[in-house]
Amino acid sequence: MPYTDEKIGYQNNNASKEAASFNSKGKITIREQVLELFRERKELSAEQVSEIMNRAEISVKPRITELKNSGFIADSGKKVIGKWGTSITIWKIVKEK
């Protein structure tokens, strides 16, 4: 997956690239909110982040991927059963700044 200079991921087409660049400040704000939540809680699943932030998982999962790709969080090696009965990853903070 390609990424913008701000580390926002997008699909390999012009429309997706334009959408990733549009309002990138707002997207970075969500990422910073997710990172701050990890700084406070240390370990969370995407489902937990979504619930705590009162945002759809579809808006927080890409932010978690961006934080993982930037080295801020990593797979903790732990799994839990999510609300849909599937195994989900617990992520952990690895870099504070």
Q: Are strands 73-81 and 43-45 parallel, antiparallel or unpaired?
A: unpaired
Number of structural domains in the chain: 1
| Tens digit of each residue's pLDDT (9 = 90 or more) over 39-52 | 999 999 999 999 99
Give the pTM. 0.70
Q: What is the pLDDT of residue 24?
A: 60
Structure tokens belonging to residue 53 = 């932030």
Residue 88 lies in a domain: yes
Host domain of residue 18:
14-93
Residue 89 maps to a domain: yes
CB 76 within 8 A of CB 21: no
Q: What is the pLDDT of residues 16-70, one digit of tens each?
A: 888 777 766 665 678 899 999 999 999 999 999 999 999 999 999 999 999 999 9
Residue 7 placed within a domain: no
Which distant-in-sequence residues (6+ apart) come within 8 Å of 21 by Cβ?
A: 4, 8
CATH number for the domain harbouring residue 87: 1.10.10.10
